[in-house]
Amino acid sequence: MSSRSSWAEPYKIKMVELLKMTTPQRRKKVIKEAGFNTFLLKSEDVYIDLLTDSGTSAMSDVQWAGMMRGDEAYAGSRNYYNLEKSVKDTYGYKYLVPTHQGRGAEHLISSILIKKGDIIPGNMYFTTTRLHQELAGGQFRDIIIDEAHDAESLHPFKGNVDLAKLESLINHHGAAKIPYVCIATTVNMAGGQPISMDNLRQVRELTSKHGIRIIHDMTRVAENAYFIQQREPGFKRKSIARIVREICDLTDGATMSAKKDALVNIGGFLALNEWEVFEEARNLVVVYEGLHTYGGLAGRDMEAMAIGIKESVDQNHIHARVGQVEYLGQRLIEAGIPIVQPIGSHGVFLDARRILPHIPQDQFPAQTLAAQLYIDAGIRAMERGVVSAGRDPITGENRFPKLELVRLTIPRRVYTQAHMDVIAESVMRVYNRRSKIKGMQMVYEPTYLRFFQARFEPI
């Protein structure tokens, strides 16, 4: 393990991508044309892109070299076998089905395991994960601890499961109605908050007692392992790789968006320990993604993923990754800006409820704040509040989550400390004129995952 205490980057820069600066006049014009939805902006109009950490990371020279070794055979590509080995060695799951990205894996596992009327408990929803559960006929139930819904709670493991909530669901519906419990490591919608190993062990014990599977959303598992190492007694001297493996060993299968932790621009997989479920997934993948040895990916993409998985569990890498996010978060805390605490692993989440208390939630405070941030300095963030939560599929009513957030998501290995300063200064400027900011109304609402394409107008 490293004796370094600074989070300074364990890499140097070999190539740069030039950014375009825009004027406030242009930004006002283009955000209006984009329906005040940052997803609808052209990326060339963005200075610092904090929309997501998904597929936006910088690959290493080793990954790029791997891209040149793509074996683009339709079947049995050498890169598939390299990926299979990397997944087995790092995560320990027995069987691998590659998919084009995380939601491809969610689609497969939901279609295979969920029957109409089933209940899927999870430690907070994620947008695509819950939608696939619902499209398969299931209903999601939130079993995360209450502290996760409180932006101000300093609980060190806000991703933890409330075991009483889980037990009560099992008692009420019966284990036969629960095909699996969905456990995310580093809970995205809670602000990048980890689950503790101790809590995961208890979830394992309870689910094993009832014969219920745990399907692991392992999209940011290495980041979760870092928090366990730093915060949970007994883990200080364990490597990230070992902690990651210990987490995976407590679960029965996993969906992975490799576009996050695993440092690739595209790719994902479904990993399983049960042969029968794997056999079905291997068959179904040919319908929706591609043959089971490429799952919608090019050989070169699988090679980059195989390498990225190994880089993701390096101590110096993860220390710098989370360290950079913490640097930005600390600057905002020092300036008195309300953010979700503790600071998460993949981004800093602004608490729009406390920043814009005069805007009611049905006038989309987080959506509004994200648009204002863009206008200020060309920084693109993402709404994670009432727009992302969508409507209840049964009642059709808007879901009003307690957390109404703007996510400043930090891509891995992309921006510098000076960029973090620019971001902090822009947030402070917007914060200082917050009382003048007015809410918005939604003027176009798509059926699925509305946050991607909805349009708004100022009231």
Q: Please give the positions annotated as active site.
A: 74, 126-127, 217, 260, 384, 451
Q: Of the candidates 268, 338, 344, 439, which one interacts with ligand PLI according to CB under 6 A?
A: 268
Q: Are 165 and 143 in contact (CB under 8 A)?
A: yes
CB within 8 Å of 231: residues ≥ 6 apart: 156, 157, 194, 196
The residue count for binding ligand PLI (CB under 6 A) is 15
Three-class SS state of 294: coil
Examine residue 192 and tell whether it contacts ligand PLI (CB under 6 A): no
Residues in 238-267 that interact with ligand PLI by CB under 6 A: 257, 259
CB within 8 Å of 229: residues ≥ 6 apart: 235, 236, 238, 240, 243
Contact code string over 171-190 relative to ligand PLI, x by CB under 6 A: -------------x---x--
The window from 72-80, 125-133, 289-297, 423-431 that contacts ligand PLI (CB under 6 A) reads: 125-133
The window from 98-106, 196-204, 241-249, 362-370 that contacts ligand PLI (CB under 6 A) reads: 98-106
Comparing CB distances to ligand PLI, the nearer of 133 and 341 is 133
**Left, alpha or beta for 16 (phi > 0: left; psi -120 to 50: alpha)?**
beta
Give the separation between CA 219 and CA 105, rounded to whole angstroms: 11
Return the HEC string of 312-352: HCCHHHHHHHHHHHHHHHHHHHHCCCCECCCCCCCEEEEEH
Q: Of the candidates 7, 36, 48, 54, which one interacts with ligand PLI according to CB under 6 A?
A: 54
Comparing CB distances to ligand PLI, the nearer of 309 and 359 is 309
Question: Cβ 104 to ligand PLI, closest distance in Å?
Answer: 7
The window from 38-46, 121-129, 231-239, 388-396 that contacts ligand PLI (CB under 6 A) reads: 121-129
Comparing CB distances to ligand PLI, the nearer of 101 and 160 is 101
Q: What is the DSSP string of 380-416?
A: E-EEESHHHH-B-TTT-PBP--S--EEEEE--TT---
Q: Exposed (0-12), middle (13-18) or buried (19+): which is 9, by Cβ within 10 Å? A: middle
Question: Cβ 128 to ligand PLI, closest distance in Å?
Answer: 5
Q: Which amino acid belongs to residue 117?
A: G
Q: Of the candidates 27, 41, 50, 52, which one interacts with ligand PLI according to CB under 6 A?
A: 52
Chain residues that interact with ligand PLI, rule: CB under 6 A? 52, 54, 101-103, 126, 128-129, 184, 188, 217, 219, 257, 259, 268
